[in-house]
Homo-oligomer: A and B are copies of this chain.
Amino acid sequence: MRVGILGAGWWAEQHAQALATLEGFAVTGVTSGSLESATAFAAQYGGSAYRTAGELLVAPDVDAVLITAPHEYHAPLALQAIASGKPLLLEKPVATNAEDTHAVLNAARAVGVPCLVGFTSHYFPGFSRAKQIIDSGELGRPLSGQSVFQKRWMEANRRDWHLNRERGGGMLLTAGIHALDRLMWLMDAPVQAVSAVIGTHLHDQQADDLASLFLRFAGGGAGMVGSYGYAQGGPINATTILCEAGSLRVTPDSLETGQEDRWTAVPLILPDNLTLAALAQEWLELRAWAESGQLPRVTPEFAGSVMDVVFAAEESARQEREIRLNP
Contact = CB atoms under 8 A, between A and B. Distances in A.
B242 A210 contact: yes
Contacts of A120: none
A25 to B, nearest CB: 34
Interface in A85-102: none
Given A201-B220, A244-B202, A322-B195, A146 B233 contact: no
B210 A234 contact: no
Copies in the complex: 2
Contact of A258 (B216, B234, B259): B234
Interface in A212-269: 212, 214, 216, 220-224, 226, 228, 230-236, 240, 242-247, 249, 256-263
Interface string A313-327: 000000011100000
Given A146-B146, A148-B146, A322-B195, A230 B242 contact: yes
A140 B172 CA distance: 23
A232 B245 contact: yes
A234 B220 contact: no
Given A195-B195, A232-B246, A234-B263, A226 B146 contact: yes
A120 B226 CA distance: 27
A222 B212 contact: yes
- The A interface, classified by DSSP as helix, strand, loop or mixed, is strand
A317 to B, nearest CB: 9
A320 B217 CA distance: 12
Nearest to A257: B234
A160 B146 CA distance: 31
A150 interface: yes
Contacts of A199: 220
Contacts of A220: 197, 199, 201
Output the residue of A144, A199, A202 with the most chain B CB within 10 A. A144
Nearest to A236: B240
A191 to B, nearest CB: 12
A159 interface: no
Output the residue of A148, A246, A247, A262 with the most chain B CB within 10 A. A247
Interface in A178-215: 193, 195, 197, 199, 201-202, 210, 212, 214
Contact of A143 (B210, B214, B243, B262): B210
A152 interface: yes
A233 B224 contact: no
Contacts of A256: 234
Interface of A: 143-144, 146, 148, 150-152, 193, 195, 197, 199, 201-202, 210, 212, 214, 216, 220-224, 226, 228, 230-236, 240, 242-247, 249, 256-263, 320-322
8 contacts: A144-B210, A144-B228, A195-B214, A195-B322, A210-B242, A232-B246, A233-B261, A322-B322
Given A230-B242, A232-B244, A234-B262, 19 more contacts: A143-B202, A146-B224, A146-B226, A151-B261, A152-B261, A195-B195, A212-B222, A212-B224, A214-B214, A228-B242, A231-B244, A232-B259, A233-B242, A233-B243, A233-B247, A234-B249, A234-B258, A234-B261, A236-B247
